[in-house]
Each structure stands twice: as structure tokens, then as C-alpha cells.
Amino acid sequence: MLELNFKGELSSGNKVQTVFSYDFQLTLTHTGITAFYGASGEGKSTLLRLISGLEKNNNGKISFKGTSWQDEHVFVPPEKRKIAYIFQDGRLFEALTVEANVLYGLGAKLNKIHKLNEHTSHWVENVCESLGVSAWLQRYPSELSGGQKQRVAIARSLISQPDLLLLDEPFSSLDQRGKAELLPYIERLTTKLNIPCILVSHSRYEIESLAQVGVIIKQGKVIAQDSILNLLTRLDLSLAHEEQSTSLLQVKVLEHNDADCLTVLSLGSQKVWIEKVTAEIGQLASIRVFSRDIIVSAIQPVESSALNVLLGDITEIEHTQSSKVLIIVNIEQQKLLARITRKSLNNLDLKIGQQVYIQFKSVSLGTCLFRE
């Protein structure tokens, strides 16, 4: 449980002094990944630095699990907060080997694995193994790629056994391949640790893939705080209005159809077909559907090539002046965001409360994300 309340100003920039004022009030109770989402320069990283104590603000309050980190009388320095902070650029100590880097958090004397006691060295080896960094222990950071450096940085943070994990745009310095490589490690790690994690990101793909709860930050203020599923389908927020807008549906793996190379997922009592994936039967997952890929029909479509036809009720319609409208369809108590043209809306005469059929091609599904 993290509670904070910061109000203040921050001047940044050397030549042109820009004063950035912020007002953050937040309570986080979630133990999984909470995402701070917003465009660059809206104050997400500032908030993270305030939480870590790297940025000092004299009129703020922050407490973690009932212990005050900062109030009128107390300021716990960052080194005593037991947090891990994954920076954009890895920030490995270039002069030290990977081994000395990952052991840095254990203290000055323990800079070699063989100096550790059995319990600790077991833990260290376990972490290094699961992040795939064991083979590089004797190398120097300059010999590693960007993604490899980030994995070492993550191993280093974990070995110190933090109570809170802060991830500041961990993928931003990586190319597409590096991102794809790192994503599963971060996912695995946060489930393994079972500590609260905060992920700062301006990429909706990252927050959709990793976070369960999102906090939307704009101009130094918290605009909304909700589950990712809800945030994506809230019409009052900009997420739903983005070109790449999506919604996530929670499903369960029902069966694999080898003959057609498809996997069948259950969405309540309805079914969704996707291209075959490797997953255990009964596993929970979420699927990503782009709002622009959805076809809405007022009557049940017949002889359509689209495999997925779901039945739902329209719960919200947002009328705009543009050619497109956004509608929310409630399918089995889950919200699906669809974007259709205004012309179609008028032609079909769609109304709130009306029952509609939703179609999307199975191949148009976004990445299938599996969650524990």
C-alpha cells in the first residue's frame, strides 16, 4: 500500500527555465503492476522520482506499508527505502563486471558470488538463471547489447530483495527485437516477486501487455485510476480516442483444434477462435481487439468468413462531429470498444440498449496475452 500526496513545482531545462507544477494524490493498493501512463513530459517520471526520494519535495507526504517515507518530520533517504528502480538506460556500472554489478546491492564486501553464504548465493544464482544472465557474469557491461544490459540491471535490482519495484520506461532505449526479448522477463519477474511494481510508460502496448491497473497522468495531475480493462473502454479518456485504441477481453483457454490450427477460447458462454497458441487448457488469458477492426451488425450475420461472432448490448455511444463514432458493447459483462462510421450508425439506427452482433476476423486479434 503506497500513499502519496505531492504538490509542488519543478524547474527544468538549463537555458529556458520551464516551471512544471504538479499535484499528485494517489493511493495504490495493487500488488501487481500499476502503470503510470501519459505522454512524454507530463510528469510520470517526476512522480517516480518523488516516490524513490531521488527528487526531493519539501511539502509532500509519502508512506509505504504504513511506514512514513516523508512527512513534516521525516525524510527517509532513497538508499534506505528498499526499492528497486529500473532506469531507461540500464545504468550499469561500466567499471565493474556483470558479477560485481548484480551483487552491488548486497554491500561493499560481497562483490563475488563465492563470498556469499549458501542461502544468498542460491538466491543470486536463481535470479541470474531466470533472467538468463548467468553466462555473462565475467563480462563487462560494454560487451552486452541494450536488452542484455537491461536484464542485468533487473537482476541487480532483484538481488537486493526490494519491497517496491519502479520501472521507468524500461523498453524505451531498446529496438523492437530488444523489447520483445525483454517483455516476458519483466512479466515473469513481477509474478515471481509478488511485490508492488510501478511501470512508467507512454506506450499503450506496454501497459496493455504488462499492467493490471493504470494511472493516467496529464500535466502533473492524476486524471484517472482504474483497472486497465476499464481505462481502455472509458470514453471520457483519451485512450479510447487514440488511433490504435483497443480493448482487452478476459478469456479462458477451452481447447486446441489441431485440424484447423486454431485455439478456442471461452468468453463467458460464448467462444472466440484465435490462431493456435501454446497454452494449457483452462489457463486465463486476455486478448486484445483493435476497435477499428470490429464490425457491428444489427442482425445475425450469415455466411460470413469472420469466425468470431459475439452477441452483446450497446451500453454507450459517443457522438462526435467527425466521421467516426465510438460505441461500447457489453459482452458477457465485459466491455468492448468499437469504432464505426457515423453513417453506419445512422444506417443501422443503433441505440443504447440494443442487442448487436460483433464480428472480428480471428487473424485481426492483437497479441494474445496470457496472465496467471
Residues that bind other proteins (CB under 8 A): 52, 54, 77-80, 82-85, 87, 89, 91, 93, 95, 104-105, 107-108, 156-157, 160
Residue in the block written with cell 552486452:
144
To the nearest whole angstrom, how small is the minimum distance from the Cβ of residue 197 to other proteins? 15
Alpha helices (H) in the chain, listed in sequence order: 44-52, 98-102, 118-131, 146-159, 176-193, 204-210, 228-232, 342-348
To the nearest whole angstrom, how small is the minimum distance from the Cβ of residue 73 to other proteins? 21
In the chain, count H helices and then E strands: 8, 20
To the nearest whole angstrom, how small is the minimum distance from the Cβ of residue 79 to other proteins? 5
To the nearest whole angstrom, how small is the minimum distance from the Cβ of residue 170 to other proteins? 14
Nearer to other proteins, 82 or 371 (CB): 82
- Report which residue type is found at 58: N
Nearer to other proteins, 77 or 184 (CB): 77
CA dist 192 and 171 (Å) reads 20
Nearer to other proteins, 198 or 285 (CB): 198
Nearer to other proteins, 103 or 345 (CB): 103
| Cβ neighbours of 366 (radius 10 Å) | 18
Retrieve residue 172's grid coordinates.
524505451
Nearer to other proteins, 106 or 223 (CB): 106
To the nearest whole angstrom, how small is the minimum distance from the Cβ of residue 187 to other proteins? 22
Retrieve residue 214's grid coordinates.
493504470
To the nearest whole angstrom, how small is the minimum distance from the Cβ of residue 51 to other proteins? 11
CA dist 313 and 153 (Å) reads 47
Nearer to other proteins, 89 or 332 (CB): 89
Sheet of 262-267: strands edge to edge? 270-275, 262-267, 246-257, 284-290, 365-370
